[in-house]
Amino acid sequence: MARKREYPSLPMVGAGALIYKGNSVLLVKRNNEPNKGKWALPGGVVKVGEGVEDATVREVKEEMGLEIKLEGLLSVLDDIHYDGKGRVMYHFVLVTYLASPQGGKVKLNSESDEYKWFSPTEVRSVFAT
């Protein structure tokens, strides 16, 4: 049985990748809540019994069609969203790895509207808003 993402009883673990090529970083525009319509790192929820590294590789392949090589742990952060009444609507613990593309061709699934390679300056401005 899948756990509820909205108003969860426990935090959910999300696995993502900061994929770089040269001096560019790959982002996707989210098609689902939370953060629908915003640029984000590709990734998704870790399945029960799945390691976080395996989940990261799987999610990028499912979401984008890319094979990646994980190069190291980048960050572990909380992503908590509250509703208008102050209740926790979403709570994710996000584990992010630095990764490089190893093969495949970008083919987005329904979770993303578009993708783009961003320069470091562009990435800073995207996440500053």
CA 45 to chain centre: 9
**Which residues touch 51 (CB under 8 Å, ≥6 apart)?**
none
Catalytic (active site) residue 59: no
Distances (CA, A) of 66 to 7, 18, 27, 79, 99: 32, 13, 13, 25, 11
Of 59, 62, 114, 122, catalytic: 114
AA identity, residue 113: D
Through-space distance between the first and last CA atoms of the chain, rounded to whole angstroms: 36
Please list the active-site residues: 114
